[in-house]
Structure 1
Amino acid sequence: MRLSELLSKAPANEEAQVERFLNARLPWGKHKTIEVGKVAINFKCKTCDNVRTFMSGDKLSCLGVGERVVSIDACLKCPVCKATIEAWFLVVSRDELDVQAPTVRLERYVDNRRDIASRIGVGAGDFDDLLERAQLAYEERLGAGSMVYLRKIFEAITKQVADIASIPTIGNNGGRKPFRNLLQEVDEQYHIIPLAFSSDGYKLFSELSEIVHGDSNEEVALQKYYPCRSLVIGIIQNVASDQEMKRAIDALGWNINGLNVPSSGAIVP
């Protein structure tokens, strides 16, 4: 595998053995131009209003950061309208960086899209906006912040499925129904919780809430981010694929892309 193939999988923190890309150790603070193939990442180009594969040139800029760490900069261009964005990759090696076939990991990835492009979501309309905000918070190492957005999605889709199914969200005392009870009623009727997690769907919300309210440290939040994100995406997909739910949404003149999810707000508990 060439290094460009690994970088093209960003933002996933993949690890792989790659072809040699440095012939000698790169000292701290020293730059070197490397030829490792073109980096290609899919974005939705806002000028084209379509998904495009933004590609780098043949040469990338590599900066020595540590004995086994390099920083790589790339400029990615839309192949149609030629709009450009910047991308930065922090690459860490298990071995010396200048060995024949180093095993390296994409430790961190940042892109500067400058409102030129947006990342590709999971096809869930407004939920994609919140998922992207969660991902960006994670990439900035804001564990609690990333969980805030995941919890907003979980709450929003559960309450709106309840609305579609005519399940009351107000309790007997006139106040808001406890979320645990609402989730149980919604899941019993529409099975929105992924099967692998169906034994205790509220546990996911508890995990998110515990982190959001400061009962867990940032490192733990970051470790739990991807499992929680996968489960939240599973809930979105379950709702989107349920035929009875689709009929109910259509009858109301809605669609999964139009569910009303707040997409603004600061990253705070």
Structure 2
Amino acid sequence: MSVDAALRCSACGAATETWFLVGCDDDLFSQAPVVYLERYTENRRDTAGSSGLGTEQIDDLLERAQIAFDDHLGAGAMIYLRKIFEMTTSQAAEAVGIATVRSNGRRKSFRSLLEEVDADSHIIPSEFSSNGYKLFSELSEVIHGDSNEAEALNKYLPCRKLVLGIVNNIRNNQEMAQAIASLGWNGPSPLVSTEGATS
């Protein structure tokens, strides 16, 4: 299990960000699991990430993913990629007025939300538009322990490229919508800005 925590020293009050990789000898969800600290990294960034959504948070998550990968923490890196995918999809839904919850107040399944958003705004690049949810499944399989760390590390770079493809596709859609609006043409509603995300 990957635990990302912002800690504060009780003596001096200094804050530090620490990432723990916790292992378990048995079932992590049992009543009294036996856990151990496998690895930790301190001060990966000067501060914990911003609480707001948008470009800064996407860049923050991308950086965290890369740091995890560089530290050979494949599952941790994939968690951040999945978070980016979920976050950008939710932002795109809100930007075009697609509800992220059902009529009973419960969140829509990610598959359902992704299909609605992509049908409306085409956030998945055409090169893998029929496999948008397959990317999410790939990221989730790693996170849920269906892959070992070596497999997760091998999958990280191609998954990162595909997630960045979605982020950049949304950014391009927004830039095109702004250009159309500036010319006074009727065009699609601009999606949430992810300008500044880099590979």
TM-score by length of 1: 0.47
Match of residue 165, structure 2, among 204, 225, 234:
234
Instruction: Please give the per-residue CA displacement for 1:25-72, whole angstroms capped at 9, x wherever unaligned.
Output: xxxxxxxxxxxxxxxxxxxxxxxxxxxxxxxxxxxxxxxxxxxxxxxx
Q: Is the 8 A contact 2:168 2:194 kept in 1?
A: no
Q: Which residue of 1 aligns with 2:23?
A: none
Q: Which residue of 1 aligns with 2:177?
A: 244
Match of residue 256, structure 1, among 191, 194, 197:
194
Rounded Cα–Cα distance in structure 1 between residues aligned with 2:68 and 2:44? 15
What is the deviation of 1:255? 3.9
Q: Which amino acid aligns with 1:244?
A: A
What is the deviation of 1:158? 0.1
Residue segments in structure 1 that go unaligned for 5+ positions in a row: 1-111, 116-123, 259-269
Rounded Cα–Cα distance in structure 2 between residues aligned with 1:185 and 1:156? 15
Q: Which residue of 1 aligns with 2:137?
A: 206
Residue segments in structure 2 that go unaligned for 5+ positions in a row: 1-42, 47-54, 182-188
Percentage of pairs with the same residue: 57
Q: Flag the 1:135–1:114 CA change in 2: closer, same or farther, 3 A.
A: closer
Q: Which amino acid aligns with 1:157?
A: T
Q: Which amino acid aligns with 2:194?
A: I
What secondary structure sits across from 1:256 in the alignment?
Answer: coil
What secondary structure sits across from 2:83 in the alignment?
Answer: helix
TM-score by length of 2: 0.62
Q: Which amino acid aligns with 1:193?
A: I
Rounded Cα–Cα distance in structure 2 between residues aligned with 1:114 and 1:133? 9
| Structure whose CA Rg is larger | 1
Instruction: Please give the per-residue CA displacement for 1:161-191, whole angstroms capped at 9, x wherever unaligned.
Output: 0001100111243210010000001011111
Match of residue 137, structure 1, among 46, 49, 68:
68
Aligned length: 137
> Considering only aligned residues, what root-mean-square deviation do their CA atoms show, in Å?
2.6
Structure number with the higher strand fraction is 1
RCO higher in 1 or 2 (8 Å CA, sep ≥ 6)? 2
Structure number with the higher helix fraction is 2
Moved over 6 A (4+): none
